[in-house]
Amino acid sequence: MHRFVPDEPTSTKRSTTMPLTGELARIDDELRRAYDGECWHGPPLREVLKGVTAAAAAAKHPQITHSAWALVNHLAAWVGVVANRITEWRPITEPDAGDFPPVIDTNEVAWAAALDDLDRQHRKLLGVVAGLDAAKLDATVPGKPYPVAVMLHGTAQHYAYHAGQIALLKKLVG
Q: Give pLDDT tens digits along the chain (174 positions).
A: 333 334 444 344 444 446 788 999 999 999 999 999 999 889 999 999 999 999 999 999 998 899 999 999 999 999 999 999 999 999 999 999 999 999 999 999 999 999 999 999 999 999 999 999 999 999 999 999 999 999 999 999 999 999 999 999 999 987
Decide if 60 contacts 116 (C-beta within 8 A): no
Kindly state the helix (H) or strand (E) to which residue 121 belongs, with its residue range: helix 108-130
Burial code (b: 16+ CB inside 10 Å, e: under 16) for 122-155 equals: bbbbbbbbbebeeeebeeebeeeeeebbebbbeb
Judged by DSSP in three states, 133 sits in coil
CATH of segment(s) 22-173: 1.20.120.450
The reported pTM is 0.88
